[in-house]
Amino acid sequence: MALKSSALVALVAVLTAAPLPASAAPPPLREVMFVGNNWEGTVDVIGSSGGYGKLGRINVIPDKDARLWEIYLNPIRLAFFLGIRSGPGEGHDQLVDDMYTTPDGGALVASRPSFADVVSIDLRTGAVRWRFAVSGYRADHMAVSPDGTRVAVSASTSNTVHVLDIATGRQLGSFATGDKPHENIYSADGRYLWNMSIGEVNTDLDDPIWDWTKGNRRITVADTTTFQTVRTIDMRARLDAFGRSDLSNAMRPTVFSADGSKLYFQVSFFNGLVEYDIATDRITRVKTLPKNPATSDDRTTFVNDSRHHGLALSPDGGRLCVAGTMDDYATVVDRATLQEGELVPAAKPYWATVSGDGRDCVISESGADQVSAISFATGRRVATVAVGDHPQRVRIGHVPDNWAPPAAR
């Protein structure tokens, strides 16, 4: 019996010391940055930091003909399709809005506003892995859960957020929101999903006296297990209490502070940002940023009611990066003092995100078909990369380490 036990111990030692088969080891991944070219239906892949070198381009509308046939054969869908083109699309189809990669780096999941869907594109073949048609007629901003397994998408005409399994596209749950759900953000622990609704942005009833026509604009906080609403917050009362009844309560890009205690956000028509304390449920500071003298104050000229649209927080929590969309600049703001830095000229910057190494803020310049990196430390531009037609969302993701774009294979 002792001999058998010794043999068993030796066998176990050999097996545990042996390397795992290659098939069992996860493939090495490379961190990259994805830039969605909204009017073109493509996504540019660039380095996530440093020189931001271009790595390739992905077509996220390989099924365009099939989708257009479906739309043309349905009068109601066609009416919404053309409405998106003439409204938020500024005369163009909106073919890619937001995007994230699957945890294994094998697919890019993107929302396509004009096609009212979310698709998963295989990063090696360029083929559609799965497609989810949202309720209503337009898909908008997304968010990915902290563990990367779920993706949430706003269905802006049905006032719904769908939560999908990022690998299969299967709906895991959904919840109702205010009018025109827009931004989505997961809490750091993944327990809650925050949605900000912006109301109607496609009319010219932009004078404050017509604000009531914009609809029900609120934050909806949902439990990510039950998909039940646990809290709603209308910033109207909070802004009024702070003495800023002149500001819209339509919340645009939003970021949590590093410790999760504060919320920073932009609102429609306003050149600046707002700080909200979550625990005390009150506005604590409002920062007005400089206007561009060349920018008209006529609200009807602001794209989709947004004067400033793009906000990112440095990893250390000390600085905010602001995209001053209609004022054609970006700037880094000290979070302690809310003092802005240098105004970096930019052509209709439409988004802001943090580089992979955390050193820079990367903005999309939708008016110049490029992205620019601005140093959090100096507040100055350090790189610019040409991309496709009308870049908007910029997201960090991963591709296989030896990845090449599908067209190159």
Q: What is the pLDDT of residue 234?
A: 97
Q: What is the pLDDT of residue 367?
A: 96
Q: Which residues pair with 340 in a beta bridge?
A: 333
Q: What is the pLDDT of residue 393?
A: 97
Distance CA 282, CA 276 (A): 6
- Successive 10-residue mean pLDDT values, the chain, 409 residues: 42 42 71 98 97 96 97 96 93 97 97 98 97 98 97 98 98 98 96 96 87 93 98 97 96 95 97 98 98 94 93 97 98 98 97 98 98 98 98 97 80
The DSSP 8-state label assigned to residue 183 in this structure reads: E
Q: What is the pLDDT of residue 24?
A: 58
Q: What is the pLDDT of residue 2?
A: 43
Q: What is the pLDDT of residue 18?
A: 45
Cβ atoms within 10 Å of 295's Cβ, excluding its own? 17
Distance CA 33, CA 43 (A): 10
In a domain, residue 263? The reply is yes
In a domain, residue 1? The reply is no
What length does the chain have? 409
In a domain, residue 247? The reply is yes
In a domain, residue 324? The reply is yes
The residue segments making up the domain with residue 287 are: 28-408
The pTM assigned to this predicted structure is 0.91
Distance CA 205, CA 280 (A): 33
Backbone Cα Rg of the chain: 23
Question: CATH number of the domain that 245 lies in?
Answer: 2.130.10.10
Token pair recorded at residue 357: 């190494």
In a domain, residue 213? The reply is yes
Q: What is the pLDDT of residue 23?
A: 52
Amino acid type, 96: V
In a domain, residue 193? The reply is yes
Q: What is the pLDDT of residue 246?
A: 94
Number of domains making up the chain: 1
Q: What is the pLDDT of residue 20?
A: 43
Token pair recorded at residue 133: 């048609």
Q: Which residues pair with 375 in a beta bridge?
A: 360
In a domain, residue 379? The reply is yes
Q: What is the pLDDT of residue 265?
A: 98
Q: What is the pLDDT of residue 208?
A: 87
Provide CB contacts within 8 A for 308, sequence distance 6+.
Answer: 252, 266, 270, 271, 272, 273, 289, 322, 323, 324, 325, 326, 327
In a domain, residue 169? The reply is yes
